[in-house]
Amino acid sequence: MKLVIAKTELQKGLGRIQAIVEKRNSMPILANAYLEATQNAGNSRLHIAATDLEVGVRGSHDAQVSTPGSLTVSAKKLFEIVRELPDEPLQLASTANSYLEIQCPRSRFVLAGTAGDEYPTLPSPSPKAMVRIQASLLAGMIERTMYAASADETRYNLNGVYFEVLPDTGKIRMVATDGHRLAYLDRVIAADLSGLSSGVIFPRKGLSELKRLVDEEDADEVELGFEGNNGVARRGEVTLMMRLIEGEFPNYRQVLPKPPRHVLVLEREPLIHALRRVSVMSVERSRSVKLEIQEGRLQMSSSNPDLGEGHEELEIDYAGEALCLGFNARYLLDALGVLQAKEVQLGLHDELSPAQIRPTDDADSLAVVMPMRI
């Protein structure tokens, strides 16, 4: 293998795979990047791929290939080297023992590698239906739901975000829950959803990589599709594949709270800062804060036998009955932190019912946080 490629192009491709490469030693080769140089009818490309057997990404980059070939090298070390090199064309060449030589006018590095045919074969699913979704829209849906997914490995079917098509409304929905909180978001997309699979669970790591893909500067649209137990996202020359979570997502509609009896409209930023301050004095394990709602004011407090106590008060437009509730401050902050609205609605039914948080300007968004005993 021998080629010349722009430093910025190589760095972009290697940066894209850093969170995917497997750092554990179960299969050492999974810490490597797969590099393949090809020539096809005058079209020279360098393909960069990586997988951890659950999530994989493959990108294609412009290069001047003089000798096709493939090998694998440490993804982390190659990225660190390329990142520090000057912004000049780089020459990559493989040696007889599958080492990779990286050269530019004043630098030369040699990395130990392995033959390309030793790398696990990446799946190549070809979904029958692919739907184009605006990158910024998909990024927002991921951000507004993924925080609520469970990190408890024993609840495998909750370790991701549920994706479904709502045929009656022409919307797509993402839902996540860990049993203590829930988040969902609906969005309309200008595409035919009839052939798109529904009722699938994206894994957290796969969604994190999809979020990185749609957040790239030149991201405009992404194609999304499913085949069997695989999810596929394509954007330009980059293809992301992930193994979907097997299992049944709980019937979240059964646990959605009934419409609240009391609705408070609050400015988001002051509420976030007040919660952050008062939670400093909360017990580390529970992060519990007490919310006391009275006419014209919202009082927040927390106490810790080893530290002391903290109190905050916000003026609110409220004239209903007095309420006293307890919540995990981190859960409230997570829900508020992903919203972009200036004002939010805090919906409450009674002192034992969950809080409902939504932006005042978005009826298709909802976060639910279960109360706790104080």
pLDDT of 25 higher than 70: no
| Domain-embedded: residue 374 | no
State the pLDDT at residue 146: 96
Q: Are residues 236 and 290 in the same domain?
A: no
In a domain, 111, yes or no: yes
Identify the three-state secondary structure at position 295. Answer: coil
Q: Burial level of 69, CB count in 10 A (0-12/13-18/19+)?
A: middle
Contacts of 230 (CB under 8 A, 6+ apart): 123, 125, 241, 242, 243, 244
| Residues 88 and 114 occupy one common structural domain | yes
Both 111 and 167 in one domain: the answer is no
The pTM assigned to this predicted structure is 0.90
Using the predicted structure, report yes or no on whether residue 217 has a pLDDT greater than 90. Answer: no
CB of 368 closer than 8 Å to CB of 356 = yes
Q: Is a pLDDT exceeding 90 seen at residue 124? A: no
Same domain (yes/no): 18, 106? yes
Residue 179 lies in a domain: yes
**Is residue 357 in some structural domain?**
yes
Q: Say how far apart CA 329 and CA 182 lie, in whole Å.
A: 15
What is the average per-residue pLDDT within 7-14? 96
- The enclosing domain of 352 has a CATH number of 3.10.150.10
- Given this model, what pLDDT does residue 334 score? 96
- List the domain range (segments joined by +) for residue 98: 2-118
- pLDDT tens-digit series, residues 238-264: 999 999 999 899 999 998 999 999 999
Q: How sure is the predictor about 193, in pLDDT bands with cuts at 50, 70 and 90?
A: confident
Q: What is the DSSP letter of 86?
A: -
d(CA 316, CA 359): 16
The predicted-structure confidence for 352-368, as pLDDT tens digits, reads as follows: 899 999 999 999 999 99
Please report which residue ranges of the chain form alpha helices under DSSP H. Answer: 7-16, 75-84, 135-146, 204-215, 268-279, 329-337
The last residue of a domain, from among 91, 118, 145:
118
Lowest mean pLDDT segment, chosen from 118-127, 180-189, 291-300: 118-127
User: What's the mean pLDDT when you consider all of the chain?
Assistant: 93
Per-residue tokens: 256: 């959605």
Give me the number of domains the chain comprises.
3
Q: Is 224 helix (H, G, I), strand (E, B) or coil?
A: strand
Same domain, 247 and 151: yes
Chosen domain end from 87, 118, 149:
118
Q: What does the alpha-carbon distance between residue 211 and residue 85 come to, in Å, rounded to a whole number? A: 28
Q: Is residue 123 part of a domain?
A: no
- Is pLDDT at 195 greater than 80 in this prediction? no
DSSP codes, 179-211: SSEEEEEEEE-SS--TTS--SEEEEHHHHHHHH
Residues 8 and 84 in one domain: yes
Domain assignment present for residue 125? The answer is no
Kindly state whether residues 112 and 72 are assigned to the same domain: yes
